Amino acid sequence: MSTTQDPSQVSQFDLETTPGQGGIGEAAGAYWDRIKGGDLGALPAVIGAVVLVIVFGIMEPDSFLTEQNFANLLNQGAAIMVLAMGLVFVLLLGEIDLSAGFTAGTGAAILGVTLTNHNWAWPLAIGAALITGVAIGFAIAVLVARLGIPSFVVSLAFFLGLQGAMLLIIGEGGTIPIRNEAVLKVMNQNMSVALGWLLALIVIAGYAGTSFWAIRTRKNAGLPVPAMSVWAAKVVALGVVVVIAVFLLNQERQRPNAPIVIQGVPWVVPLVVALVVALTFLLMRTSFGRHVYAVGGNAEAARRAGINVPNIKTVCFILGSTLAIVAGILLASRDNSVSPTTGGAQTLLYAVGAAVIGGTSLFGGRGRIVDAVTGGLVVAIIANGLPLVTQKSGVQFIINGLVLLLAASVDAISRRRAAATGR
């Protein structure tokens, strides 16, 4: 079809009969071919989440399969998801940022000190924390991208340095309470039932509209497009998942005889959705995003193609550290306080695990923002379900380590398979 066709004349029939782009059956066959070729995407994370829900649901049906625990899962996973979103940018380059956890903690500490000790307004306190994230990311990027020091070494140094900075800001052994209602509301309060359904409508209609617009744009440019039946199936699948999730969250989930009613979608959910949409647009729809994938795939080839590799790396590290600060603010909001352990312990392990389990490659060049969400959900299910099954910390550490090792192994095997099949 001519690329000069009037967009208004593009019919559903035209879209469905694009050569080589059949219906759901052909799309399923093409997806199976990609899997056999080593492009697993988020499939391992989805399968893992389903298996874990079934296992924990059978072992602890009265405590795991409840509306209250479902809301807890989202709150437990939100900060890890946001931290993992930032790490996706760094991992796409084939780099690593081991300081992300304590960058989050440092941001939370600055937020706590400015809010509680100096009575700053919450927008100023959050702004100060975010500026700190930009400065940390820029400093790491200068050492990695300009001086050529391996990111493992630089971020390990920042891991130790930021841990010390947190102790100096907070004071050793101290804890700073967070009392600001606006900050606490993000992780501790819920939307009204009506707002929850409005959010569901916006998500479903937004996905349907933007994906349809993308199909029309590609069609007008003479590029291959999926059939409308495939588009409709994806919209229906997303709609079913979103409607079920909002329905469960809108149920009353307070304890029996409790004086208050707890129901509705947690306020952190629209924040995570907004970040996924904005960052996905940045990675998938802009020249910057294409340059990130090019640098991660082959930095030398990207340089020869005229891409400013140091600048791309700088922006990615800044985005990673800034999103880590956002995660730190969420951690402070969830805990109602900031302590020297905020962002420490297993926070970084969970975030890296979330990105890798979701489908982001540790070797660079492959990954999506939504990987952080699917992987973060798996990590949250493990962190939530394991303590219900066993109280032994040793068993929990071993299982967490095995899950991360399994995810890294799947990544390595799929990458070798993709190389062998020429994908």
The per-residue pLDDT for 225 is: 81
Percent of the chain with pLDDT over 70: 92
Domain count, the chain: 1
* Closest among 284, 249, 247, 267 to 370, alpha carbons compared: 284
Q: How sure is the predictor about 30, in pLDDT bands with cuts at 50, 70 and 90?
A: confident
Q: Is the pLDDT of residue 133 over 90?
A: yes
The per-residue pLDDT for 135 is: 96
Least confident of 30-39, 223-232, 328-337: 30-39
Q: Considering the domain boundaries, does residue 384 fall inside one?
A: yes
Q: Considering the domain boundaries, does residue 48 fall inside one?
A: yes
Q: Is the pLDDT of residue 7 over 60?
A: no
The per-residue pLDDT for 67 is: 80
Range 138-154 average pLDDT: 93
Least confident of 20-29, 135-144, 266-275: 20-29
The per-residue pLDDT for 5 is: 44
Q: Is the pLDDT of residue 391 over 80?
A: no
Q: How sure is the predictor about 73, in pLDDT bands with cuts at 50, 70 and 90?
A: confident
Least confident of 81-90, 188-197, 252-261, 281-290: 252-261
The per-residue pLDDT for 88 is: 94
- pLDDT: which is higher, 17 or 294: 294
Q: How sure is the predictor about 318, in pLDDT bands with cuts at 50, 70 and 90?
A: very high
- pLDDT: which is higher, 396 or 140: 140
The per-residue pLDDT for 423 is: 60
Q: Is the pLDDT of residue 315 over 80?
A: yes
Q: How sure is the predictor about 172, in pLDDT bands with cuts at 50, 70 and 90?
A: low
The per-residue pLDDT for 295 is: 93
Q: Is the pLDDT of residue 4 over 50?
A: no
- Write down the mean pLDDT value for the chain: 85
Q: Considering the domain boundaries, does residue 230 fall inside one?
A: no
Q: Considering the domain boundaries, does residue 73 fall inside one?
A: yes
Q: How sure is the predictor about 1, in pLDDT bands with cuts at 50, 70 and 90?
A: very low
The per-residue pLDDT for 362 is: 82
d(CA 71, CA 129): 27
Q: Considering the domain boundaries, does residue 153 fall inside one?
A: yes
Q: Which residues pair with 337 in a beta bridge?
A: 177
Range 358-380 average pLDDT: 87
The per-residue pLDDT for 51 is: 87
Q: Is the pLDDT of residue 21 over 70?
A: no
The per-residue pLDDT for 130 is: 95
Q: Is the pLDDT of residue 260 over 60?
A: yes
Q: Is the pLDDT of residue 17 over 60?
A: no
Enter the pTM of the model.
0.87
Neighbours of 211 (CB within 10 A): 15
Q: Which domain holds residue 323?
A: 41-189+307-415
Q: Considering the domain boundaries, does residue 33 fall inside one?
A: no
The per-residue pLDDT for 16 is: 42
Q: How sure is the predictor about 421, in pLDDT bands with cuts at 50, 70 and 90?
A: low
Q: How sure is the predictor about 22, in pLDDT bands with cuts at 50, 70 and 90?
A: low
Whether the CA torsion 29, 30, 31, 35 is positive or negative: it is positive
Q: How sure is the predictor about 125, in pLDDT bands with cuts at 50, 70 and 90?
A: very high
Range 404-423 average pLDDT: 73
d(CA 161, CA 307): 32
Q: Is the pLDDT of residue 351 over 70?
A: yes
Q: Considering the domain boundaries, does residue 217 fall inside one?
A: no
The per-residue pLDDT for 14 is: 43
Q: Considering the domain boundaries, does residue 263 fall inside one?
A: no
Least confident of 88-97, 213-222, 243-252, 253-262: 253-262
